[in-house]
Amino acid sequence: MGLRSNIKPMDFSLEKYENIFLGAPVWAGKTPPAINAYLKKASFKDKKVWLFLTKGDEKVPQQVIDSIAKRIEKKGGKVVDSLSITTKWEPKTNIPIAAEEVQQPVHDWLTQGGVLEDGPT
C-alpha cells in the first residue's frame, strides 16, 4: 500500500559493509510500513543486497521482490538474490515455523550465492 511508519533514527551506517542482508515480512502481498520507511532512509550505494522475505502462503512474492529491488537500485544498490520462506503460521495455535525448517534452505541459498563456503549449517 506504500504506507510508511515512523522508525527510530538509524544509529548505524552501512558504509563499511559490502553485502547487506535485508529481511522483511510480506503483509497482504505488500511491504510493511516500517520496511518502506527504512528503504526511504537507507543508502545502498555500491551495496550488494540479499533479500530474505517471510510470507504466509506458498506463492513467490515477486511483486514485493521487484518493488524492494527497484527502490534499492534507485539508491545505488543491487539485489543479488532473494529467498522467501513460508512461515506456515497457524493463528489458532500460535506456533511459528520451527528453526530447523528454515536453516537448511537459508544455508543452501547463501552457499549457492557464494556468500558462504559449503559446510555445516
Measured in residues, the chain has a length of 121
pTM: 0.79
**Residue 54: strand, helix, or coil:** strand
User: Which residue, 67, 83, 76, 87, is CA-closest to 115?
Assistant: 83
pLDDT band at 119, cuts 50/70/90?
A: low
| Cell, residue 47 | 551495496
pLDDT digits (tens, 9 = 90+) for 20-42: 999 999 988 899 998 998 898 88
pLDDT of residue 81: 93
pLDDT digits (tens, 9 = 90+) for 65-75: 999 999 999 99
